[in-house]
Amino acid sequence: MKLARRLDTFEGYLGTAMNLILTRMRSEGKDVINLGLGDPDVEPPEQFRKALSDACYDPKNHHYPSFYSPLPLKKAISGWYEKQYGVKSDPEKEVLPLLGSADGLFHIHTCLLDPGDIALVPDPCYPAYVAGVKIAGGIIEPVPLLKENGFLPDLEAIKPETARKARMIWVNYPNNPTSAHATGDFYYRLVDWAHKYEVAVISDNPYSEICFDGYCAPSFLQVDGAKEIGIEFNSLSKAFNACGWRTGFVIGNHEIISGLSKIKSHSDRGIFYPLQVAAIAALTGSHEFMERRNLMFRERRDVVVQGLKDCGIEVEAPKGTFYIWAPLPSGVADSKEWCFKVLDKISVWVIPGSMYGRYGEGYFRIALTHPVDRLSEAMNRLKKIL
Ligand SMILES: Cc1ncc(COP(=O)(O)O)c(C=O)c1O
């Protein structure tokens, strides 16, 4: 079978391949601790699950969801952004529900890039950005995220001739995989820069509600002029403990959103209607659970930061996300080789930094997706082999 050439440099999602390996190891009786996948052991509060289950009993909710107006969900999303960030939006034109934010952030490239167009992509980054540019036939111009810059892009270091040719730039704070956070000041500079070079800003903000130590993640859309130049993706996955719901959204520039809706009108039929009902309940309901949940992640973070320190690996405690981005132990150069060796020897899976890009080499990512006792067990196993 002859497949399209664009697949020659295209890699499948690592999580899918790893799941097969970890399942096989478990079937062989190994006590695997999977600190790879960013899908924590938490579930949406009961009232939201009940809203979902009740809505399933209504026979009219089992048709193509796009036959129903998604306006109530769009209004709930718009209302949430106004309440959280003071960002006002027109729910009809400036909001689009998605089948998880991954749906939109993959398709957005087809919407913004013609073959040969440049996309400025952070390195390291969430792998779907790279995959999306490749599928659209675009050219990836990596923007290094370096420790000395707090893992923020150095906009001044982007050559003006490259910036002028670029069609889009990705930003993602709180960041996966580095767990770095952005301040409002960074977004002011970004919006100025994007207006100057006429580059669309695509902000990916699914960790907006996973913050600690008094830090509250801003939205890129809070900056005046942001909506003229960009959009923001967000999702119920991490904020509402609902990774499996596949319910996300994009909010911001109406022309980009209208282009993306056109593409999606062919690729799917919208979110399963009971999930829309549950998402409205979640977005408009009480959010008290988030504080408790974040305290839990903070405790896990501290256990792992201390555990790594005991192994001789120094990391700063991040203010956002449920990830720890740690340097490789001294003397280790190849993150992929080392992570597979760790998996083989102690049945703990952590993700090699090189999987997120060239500038991710030298690091590995730990997801705080298990209770403290399992995380301590993983750290003890690690200590033994180091
Ligand atoms: C940075 C980033 N963006 C987007 C997503 C996708 O989230 P969703 O579940 O909304 O598709 C993830 C999931 O891990 C992520 O880490």
Q: 292 with 273, same domain?
A: no
What CA–CA distance (Å, rounded) separates 144 from 359? 6
pLDDT exceeds 90 at position 374: yes
pLDDT band at 345 (very low <50, low <70, confident <90, very high): very high
**8 burial level (CB within 10 Å; 0-12, 13-18, 19+):** exposed
The residues near 159 (Cβ < 8 Å, ≥ 6 apart) are none
Average pLDDT value for residue range 27-47: 96
Instruction: Give me the amino acid identity at 345.
Output: K
What CA–CA distance (Å, rounded) separates 45 from 22? 29
pLDDT in tens, 67-100: 566 899 999 999 999 999 999 999 999 999 999 9
Residue 51 is assigned to a structural domain of this protein: no
Q: What pLDDT, on a 0 to 100 scale, did the predictor assign at position 131? A: 93
**What is the whole-number distance in angstroms between the Cα of residue 283 and the centre of ligand 1?**
18
**What is the whole-number distance in angstroms between the Cα of residue 161 and the centre of ligand 1?**
31
Q: 74 with 111, same domain?
A: yes
Q: At which of 227, 259, 284 does a domain end?
A: 284
Q: 180 with 313, same domain?
A: no
What CA–CA distance (Å, rounded) separates 43 from 365? 23
Q: Which helix (H) or strand (E) holds 169?
A: strand 166-171
Residue 53 is assigned to a structural domain of this protein: no
Average pLDDT value for residue range 193-218: 97
Q: 103 with 210, same domain?
A: yes
pLDDT exceeds 70 at position 36: yes
- Per the CB < 8 A criterion, the answer to whether 121 and 153 are in contact is no
Q: What pLDDT, on a 0 to 100 scale, did the predictor assign at position 68? A: 63
CATH classification at residue 208: 3.40.640.10
Q: 109 with 126, same domain?
A: yes
Say what the pTM is: 0.96
Phi-psi map region of 357: left, alpha, beta (phi>0 left; psi -120 to 50 alpha)? left
Average pLDDT value for residue range 341-359: 96
Residue 48 is assigned to a structural domain of this protein: no
Q: 299 with 314, same domain?
A: yes
Domain that holds residue 29: 5-43+288-385
Q: Which residues line ligand 1 (CB under 6 A)?
A: 38, 100-102, 105, 126, 172, 176, 204, 206, 235, 237, 243, 248
Residue 54 is assigned to a structural domain of this protein: no
Average of per-residue pLDDT values in the chain: 96
Average pLDDT value for residue range 157-163: 98
Residue 17 is assigned to a structural domain of this protein: yes
Helices 335-346 and 372-385, packing angle to 10 deg:
110
What CA–CA distance (Å, rounded) separates 334 from 362? 7
pLDDT exceeds 90 at position 262: yes
Pocket residue to mutate for ligand 1, from 101, 323, 356, most atoms within 8 A of Cβ: 101
Q: 248 with 302, same domain?
A: no
**What is the whole-number distance in angstroms between the Cα of residue 237 and the centre of ligand 1?**
8
Q: 348 with 271, same domain?
A: no
Q: What pLDDT, on a 0 to 100 scale, did the predictor assign at position 168? A: 98
How many angstroms separate the most distant Cα atoms in the chain?
Answer: 61
**What is the whole-number distance in angstroms between the Cα of residue 1 and the centre of ligand 1?**
32
Q: 120 with 212, same domain?
A: yes
Q: At which of 258, 284, 310 does a domain end?
A: 284
Token pair of 374 as six digits:
């399992």
Q: What pLDDT, on a 0 to 100 scale, did the predictor assign at position 145? A: 98
Long-range contacts of 25-31 (CB under 8 A, 24+ apart): 25/343, 25/347, 30/347, 31/347
CATH classification at residue 354: 3.90.1150.10
Its sign, for the CA torsion 85, 366, 145, 96, is negative
- Choose among 173, 181, 242, 240: nearest CA to 201: 173
What CA–CA distance (Å, rounded) separates 102 from 210? 18
Q: What pLDDT, on a 0 to 100 scale, did the predictor assign at position 370? A: 97
pLDDT in tens, 125-154: 999 999 999 999 999 999 999 999 999 999
Q: What pLDDT, on a 0 to 100 scale, did the predictor assign at position 130? A: 95
Q: 317 with 205, same domain?
A: no
Q: What pLDDT, on a 0 to 100 scale, did the predictor assign at position 18? A: 87
pLDDT in tens, 269-312: 999 999 999 999 999 999 999 999 999 999 999 999 999 999 99
Residue 36 is assigned to a structural domain of this protein: yes
Q: 147 with 279, same domain?
A: yes
The number of domains in the chain is: 2
Point out the ligand 1 atom lying closest to the alpha carbon of residue 39.
14
Q: 237 with 323, same domain?
A: no
Long-range contacts of 15-24 (CB under 8 A, 24+ apart): 18/349, 21/343, 22/349
Give the neighbor-by-neighbor strand order of the sheet with 166-171.
Answer: 95-98, 248-252, 230-235, 200-204, 166-171, 118-123, 139-144
Point out the ligand 1 atom lying closest to the alpha carbon of residue 204.
3
Token pair of 145 as six digits:
């995220």
pLDDT in tens, 220-256: 999 999 999 999 999 999 999 999 999 999 999 999 9
Q: At which of 265, 284, 303 does a domain end?
A: 284
Residue 55 is assigned to a structural domain of this protein: no
Token pair of 80 as six digits:
């949430």
**What is the whole-number distance in angstroms between the Cα of residue 240 and the centre of ligand 1?**
13
Residue 58 is assigned to a structural domain of this protein: no
Q: Which helix (H) or strand (E) holds 229?
A: helix 226-229
